[in-house]
A and B are shown apart, each in its own frame.
Chain A
Amino acid sequence: MSRLLDGLEVGGRIGQRIPEAVVETTSQWVVVQPEKLVPVATYLRDDSELDFRFLIGVTAVDYLGHFEVVYHLQSLSHNHMLILKTWSLDYRKPEVPSLVSVWRGAELQEREVYDLMGIRFAGHPDLRRVFLWEGFPGHPLRKDWLEMPGGLNPGLGRFPRED
């Protein structure tokens, strides 16, 4: 059975190694400062007792006021999981550092989060929209995105109009 690591314990370890990185810990997850995200992720991947070499997934949640980026991590050798989070408190221009340099698996998933949630990942090698086309108005998974601006029918804007 895959064990979910206690966030309080892992948070304490991260705090010893990288001071001022941990923002909040609960029994289920660890929240870290976005500025310290890359060193924390590198530590989690390279530490032999934690050994989180496998990034399960990256996603983001809109809490109306701040964004939360969620990373699910898995250790294949010790068979345990960790939920790592970071907050982007700037709601207008959310930005967190990219983790592509730590886990290649973040590449497409961060592009997806950028496309649908509009969070910029600083340092991503190829941050473009994936599912929607360039020029699509807004980022639809945000809570304040309710309908296409200007009453445009999504899908029609892709083709030049015949006037």
Chain B
Amino acid sequence: MASTQGWGDSLARTRERAMTMRTEPFVVNVGPQHPSTHGVFRLRLTLDGEKIIDAEMVVGYLHRSVEKLAEGRTYTQNIPFTDRLDYLSAMSNNLAYCMAVEKLVGIEVPERGQFLRVIMAEFQRIANHAMAIGSFAMECGVWFTPLMWMFREREKILDLFEMTCGARLTTNYVRIGGVSFDIPPEFMPAAKALVKELPERIAEYEALLLENEIVLARSRDIGVLTPELAIAASTSGPVLRGSGVMWDIRKADPYAVYDRLDFDIPVGTRGDCYDRFLVRMEELRQSVRILEQALDMLPEGPASVKVPLALRPPVGEAYARIEAPKGELGFYLVSDGSPHPQRFHIRSPSYINLTPLRDMVVGLTVPDAVITLGSIDIVLGEVDR
């Protein structure tokens, strides 16, 4: 009897202790060397139990001071630097930079060059979104198959790039005044075959992922970004559109020949990770639509105009922007009349899209934070520059 009495006391004491237990915040470092951070990105999470109560990002591990380096080189020599910003979409970066220089100098690009730029930029968008969706699915727990399928299509796009300019990743293709090479004769049949094949492939991905229980369970209502905060925090691209804000530079401020092409802007409704993933999925289809039209409309004629290598733009400044796969990519150039830019600033979407990260992950658990980060789709080359 006495012993059971003792047990009861002990249980009551334990329960009492549990009720008044003091908890301490616990700091977890995610990264910089961690597969879910897409590079060398460090997330310093403060946890209370399993809940995140504070998050702080630490970047700079890949800082190569591109902006400073560019001030010592000529305008043409700077194009290869832009390849290495967002190394998954080099074509888009080349395009944005060259547009800024053309705006500064006042160069008109021939129509064929404009179409080739659009074709390459849209192929690049598909390649980039394939990587984004594949790695996002993998972070959700849909292990490896989607990623490998996405690599299959991306590989064909990279083959097209290699055919055209000899490089697959760091293309250095778009040049000031046009493009570096016109497309070779074998490009057109290969590109058209790929564009014809892509809708079937996208339908396969949709069948595999859209109603996938793992993806839904892991990403629905996780990492919600309200439209008000998305606008106030200057986010752009699929992050902004996933929150339901209809904003795309290709429609709002058309560059190249986008005003002559017919396409839609997909937007989300809830602003969670799943919506951002859906927006990317639908953008694949819209890019295919653009490519179908652009490949048919491609006019004959010169692809570029001759531009002196040591370009001396007049004194002034220019800001040019494009809808890169990750958001609004802008280049702000200031010229003092010399062959070197006085200021070379990159408005990089990956970096600025990280602004609301803390608001999105506070209250979640660590695996949800990983998915939220994956749904923003950052590339560290562009975050750190």
Binding stretch for chain A, among B57-65, B76-84, B198-206: B57-65
In which size bucket is the chain B interface?
20 to 34
Closest Cβ of chain A to B234, distance in Å, is: 3
Interface centre among B68, B231, B356, B384 (most CB of A within 10 A): B231
Question: Given contacts A57-B352, A59-B345, A83-B319, is CB(A104)–CB(B59) below 8 Å?
Answer: no
Q: Are A57 and B351 in contact (CB under 8 A)?
A: no
B252 interface hit (Cβ, 8 Å) = yes
Binding stretch for chain A, among B18-26, B162-170, B207-215, B327-335: B327-335
Residues of B within 8 A of A140 (CB): 65, 68
Residues of A within 8 A of B234 (CB): 54-57, 103-106, 109
Chain A residues close to B by CB (< 8 Å): 1-2, 53-57, 59, 61-62, 70, 72, 76, 79, 83, 103-109, 112, 116, 129-133, 140-141
Residues of B within 8 A of A132 (CB): 60, 63
Question: Given contacts A103-B234, A108-B352, is CB(A131)–CB(B245) below 8 Å?
Answer: no
Residues of B within 8 A of A141 (CB): 67-68
Question: In whole angstroms, how far apart are the Cα atoms of A112 and B352 in the complex?
Answer: 11
Q: Are B245 and A76 in contact (CB under 8 A)?
A: yes
Question: In whole angstroms, how far apart are the Cα atoms of A108 and B234 in the complex?
Answer: 10
Q: Are B352 and A76 in contact (CB under 8 A)?
A: no
Residues facing A in B311-340 (CB within 8 A) are 319, 321, 328, 330, 332, 334
Q: Are A130 and B59 in contact (CB under 8 A)?
A: yes
Chain B residue with Cβ nearest A2: B253
Question: In whole angstroms, how far apart are the Cα atoms of A56 and B328 in the complex?
Answer: 8
Closest Cβ of chain B to A133, distance in Å, is: 7
Q: Are B351 and A76 in contact (CB under 8 A)?
A: no
Q: Are A116 and B67 in contact (CB under 8 A)?
A: yes
Closest Cβ of chain B to A37, distance in Å, is: 17
Question: Given contacts A2-B253, A108-B351, A132-B60, is CB(A72)–CB(B319) below 8 Å?
Answer: yes
